[in-house]
């Protein structure tokens, strides 16, 4: 019996791909299977950005900070409900150079201001121009969420590893997407993030309390894959 059963199982295994191929060749008017991933997509993106305010408070004393260049990278997974409307969940990391804090007529310190953010974005994709699969499509989105952590290091000024968590934030996005067939697309976009005042404090060591007005712009490029 084993000599019959085992070859039968082997033949069934080998025939499975052929059966799948045959079923894929059914007439076009036959019902098509729907994948659980239909309409879903993933994005990877990165670029540059800056802080647009120098508001800074150290232990209750108002002063200002000099911020330098920065960068941002992240990813998102979303659902395209129709040709225009989408919703996505995004995670991103931002980091900006902190050239120093002004005290009187001098600037002290050198460090960075960094954050991780989690957002839910609602997007609108315009119809654009060109044939399907090669279109250029402008889009816009608004997002709301939290900066999971905002962290500052300015060791030479006595400010080390001060942070705040779960800071509410909103963002606006405008961009342009270029379709590369039905599954792939490239995009470029500009963003503005607003999180308001983030109250940073040290978890251990010398107690330092810092308040920063956390808001800024980003210019990003990325790739999108449609399931």
Give the three-class secondary structure for 193. Answer: strand
Q: Within a domain: residue 13?
A: no
User: What backbone phi and psi angles, to 5 degrees, belong to 13?
Assistant: -65, -45
Rounded CA separation 123/175 (Å)? 11
Q: Within a domain: residue 205?
A: yes
Q: Within a domain: residue 191?
A: yes
Q: Within a domain: residue 202?
A: yes
Domain range holding 190?
Answer: 39-226
Residue 218 has pLDDT above 50, yes or no: yes
Contact 133, 181 (CB under 8 A): yes
Residue 205 has pLDDT above 70, yes or no: no
Contact 92, 117 (CB under 8 A): yes
Q: What is the CATH number of the domain that holds 67?
A: 2.40.160.20
Residue 74 has pLDDT above 60, yes or no: yes
Residue 197 has pLDDT above 80, yes or no: yes
pLDDT the model gives residue 25: 45
pLDDT the model gives residue 38: 86
Residue 26 has pLDDT above 90, yes or no: no
Q: Within a domain: residue 206?
A: yes
pLDDT the model gives residue 34: 62
Encoding tokens for residue 143? 């997002």
pLDDT the model gives residue 96: 95
pLDDT the model gives residue 9: 47
Residue 22 has pLDDT above 70, yes or no: no
pLDDT tier at 151, thresholds 50, 70, 90: very high
Q: Within a domain: residue 12?
A: no
pLDDT tier at 207, thresholds 50, 70, 90: low
pLDDT the model gives residue 8: 42
Contacts of 33 (CB under 8 A, 6+ apart): none
Contacts of 21 (CB under 8 A, 6+ apart): none
Rounded CA separation 169/174 (Å)? 17
Number of domains in the chain: 1
Read off the pTM. 0.79
In the chain, the percentage of residues whose pLDDT exceeds 90 is 59
Dihedral over Cα of 34, 36, 37, 40: its sign: positive
pLDDT the model gives residue 159: 72
Dihedral over Cα of 71, 75, 81, 87: its sign: negative
Better-scored residue on pLDDT, 58 or 5: 58
Rounded CA separation 226/74 (Å)? 17
pLDDT the model gives residue 1: 43
pLDDT the model gives residue 208: 74
Q: Within a domain: residue 22?
A: no
Longest dimension (CA), the chain: 94
Encoding tokens for residue 154? 């300015």
Q: Within a domain: residue 133?
A: yes
User: What backbone phi and psi angles, to 5 degrees, belong to 177?
Assistant: -110, 140
In the chain, the percentage of residues whose pLDDT exceeds 70 is 81
Per-residue pLDDT averaged across 175-196, rounded?
97
Contact 120, 87 (CB under 8 A): yes
Contact 83, 61 (CB under 8 A): no
Strand ranges (DSSP E) for the chain? 40-51, 55-58, 61-80, 85-103, 106-108, 111-125, 136-154, 159-180, 184-202, 209-226
């Amino acid at each position: 019996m084993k000599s019959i059963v085992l070859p039968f199982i082997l033949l069934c295994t080998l025939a499975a791909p052929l059966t799948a191929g045959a079923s894929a060749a059914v007439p076009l008017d036959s019902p098509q299977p729907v994948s659980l991933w239909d309409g879903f997509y993933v994005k990877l993106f990165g670029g540059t950005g800056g802080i647009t305010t120098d508001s800074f408070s150290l232990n209750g004393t108002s002063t200002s900070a000099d911020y330098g260049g920065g960068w941002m990278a992240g990813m998102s997974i979303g659902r395209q409900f129709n040709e225009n409307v989408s919703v996505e969940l995004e995670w991103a990391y931002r980091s900006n150079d902190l050239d120093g804090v002004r005290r009187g007529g001098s600037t002290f310190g050198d460090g960075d201001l960094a954050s991780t953010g989690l957002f839910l974005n609602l997007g609108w994709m315009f119809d654009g121009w060109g044939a399907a699969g090669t279109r250029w499509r402008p889009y816009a989105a608004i997002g709301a969420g939290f900066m999971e952590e905002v962290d500052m290091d300015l060791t030479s000024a006595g400010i080390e590893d001060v942070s705040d968590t779960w800071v509410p934030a909103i963002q606006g996005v405008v961009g342009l997407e270029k379709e590369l067939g039905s599954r792939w697309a490239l995009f470029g976009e500009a963003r503005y993030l607003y999180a308001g005042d983030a109250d940073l404090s040290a978890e251990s060591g010398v107690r330092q309390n810092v308040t920063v007005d956390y808001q800024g712009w980003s210019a990003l490029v990325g790739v999108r894959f449609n399931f």
